[in-house]
Amino acid sequence: MGSGSSIPAIALSEVEAIDIVKKVFTDAKGPLNPDDILKSAKVYLSKPSEESSDAQDPAPKTEAPDVRAVENNVVLDRHGEPLSLDQQRVRKLREIFAELDADNDKRVSKSEFLEKMSPEIGAEEAAALFKRIDENESGQFTVSKLLHFVVIATISLMQEKFKAMDVDGNRQLTEEEFSTFFRQGGNSKKTTARLWNRLDANSNGKVNFKEWKTWAESVLALESVDKTFGDLFAE
């Protein structure tokens, strides 16, 4: 059988090998030799699979917060005193609200919102964002409703990042899961270890969602604001 010439090796998985053999024998019109199978294998491997085509557009990766950036983010009030992360969040949201409230009536109407946001993120996305903030469809929202929207967005972000860390899905983070996530996000080994020790206050080697929430809530509240509005109203 065949010409007796040496055949170059091709690395194949078991599934690929089976698919190639099936195709060769299905398409065969006469006796087969190793060269026929080799030729079919080369053609097979030169075509992108459905799996690789899907992989060209991966889902956005959930990223870890930059711990050092958070720790070094010192914002002062008008008296020169540092603001807590919660105070920073409230101040930033009030500034955003003031920019959106064109007529200064303490309410942002849909027309005001779309006029300001559409040039930045597009009319369709701006309308969708307004709908998410204005849950009861009143056609307007107050600063309190904007704050409430960010609280809900922050909870969602906390859950998203916790789930990304919790590889085995047991709702408990191990130090390895935690460290892998934060180190991949660019945090140093020392910084990551310090944060782990802070969250694992009872030193049981695990961090549950409640423990994660104690640190993440304030940090991710600012991140959720930035993800929603970015630097649209930065001076």
What DSSP line would sit under 100-117, residue for residue? H-TT-SS-EEHHHHHHHH
pLDDT of residue 213: 93
Domain ranges in the chain are: 14-46, 67-229
- Residue 169's alpha-carbon distances to 108, 173, 190, 193, 211, in angstroms, are 41, 9, 26, 22, 16
Decide which of 122 and 9 is more confident.
122
Q: Parallel, antiparallel, or unpaired for β 173-174 and 140-141?
A: unpaired
Q: What is the model's pLDDT at position 93?
A: 92
Q: Is 207 helix (H, G, I), strand (E, B) or coil?
A: strand
Confidence band of 205 (pLDDT split at 50, 70, 90): very high
Superfamily of domain 67-229: EF-hand (1.10.238.10)
Contact 129, 118 (CB under 8 A): no
At 56, the pLDDT band (50, 70, 90 cuts) reads: very low
Angle at 172 between CA 170 and CA 177, to 5 degrees: 100
For residue 35, the model assigns a pLDDT of 65
Residue 18's pLDDT is 57
Q: Looking at the whole model, is its pTM more than 0.75?
A: no
What is the mean pLDDT of the segment spanning 146-154?
Answer: 93
Q: What is the pLDDT of residues 89-136, one digit of tens each?
A: 899 999 999 999 999 999 999 999 999 999 988 999 999 999 999 999
